[in-house]
Amino acid sequence: QLQLQESGPGLVEPSGTLSLTCTVSGGSISTSGYYWGWIRQPPGKGLEWIGSIHYTGDTYHKPSLKSRLTISVDTSKNQFSLRLTSVTAADTAVYYCARRGGYYVLDVWGLGTVVTVSS
């Protein structure tokens, strides 16, 4: 059974860099046809897609975040990562990783990890 698990610091200082990793277990990240993505949800608000990556490195980003965002993949570790620079309080959210499967739906999700931007 495929499982995804987010990990990383829960607290980031303003103007700092937010770094998260998603570890995939129960399946290979290198399976063709799937993309691996990040989604966030600010407290009390809706879902916001951040970006997706294929194991080949093909990447798509939300346009408004593109200048601050790096998504990378490490197939040897079956992981993919998110790096967001110059963070502000507006980046405080629950961050989820998920698999984008057939019909472009996010069909397997991690449990989510809370990231707070504060000094």
Partner 1 sequence: ETVLTQSPGTLSLSPGEKATLSCRASQTVSRSYIAWYQQKAGQAPRVLIYGASSRATGIPDRFSGSGSGTDFTLTISRLEPEDFAVYYCQLYGSSLITFGQGTRLEFK
Closer to partner 1 by CB, 27 or 112: give it.
112
User: Site for partner 1 (CB under 8 A): which residue of 52, 79, 81, 92?
Assistant: 52
Separation of alpha carbons 8 and 33, rounded Å: 27
How near is the Cβ of 79 to partner 1 at its closest, in Å? Answer: 18
Interacting residue with partner 1 among 1, 43, 67, 104 (CB under 8 A)? 104
Site membership for partner 1, residue 119 (CB under 8 A): no
In whole angstroms, give the CA distance from residue 53 to residue 109: 15
Q: Which of 28-48 are b and which e, b meaning 16 or more Cβ less than 10 Å from the residue's Cβ? A: ebeeeebbbbbbbeeeeeeee
The tokens for 110 are: 């991690």
Q: How far is the CB of 107 from partner 1 (least distance, A)?
A: 5
Residue 102 within binding range of partner 1, rule CB under 8 A: yes
Tell whether residue 54 is a contact of partner 1 (CB under 8 A): no
Q: Cα separation of 35 and 12, whole Å?
A: 27
Is position 96 an interface residue for partner 1 (rule: CB under 8 A)? Answer: yes
Q: Are 107 and 2 in contact (CB under 8 A)?
A: no
Residues near partner 1 (CB under 8 A) are 37, 46-49, 52, 60, 62-63, 96, 98, 100, 102-107, 109-112
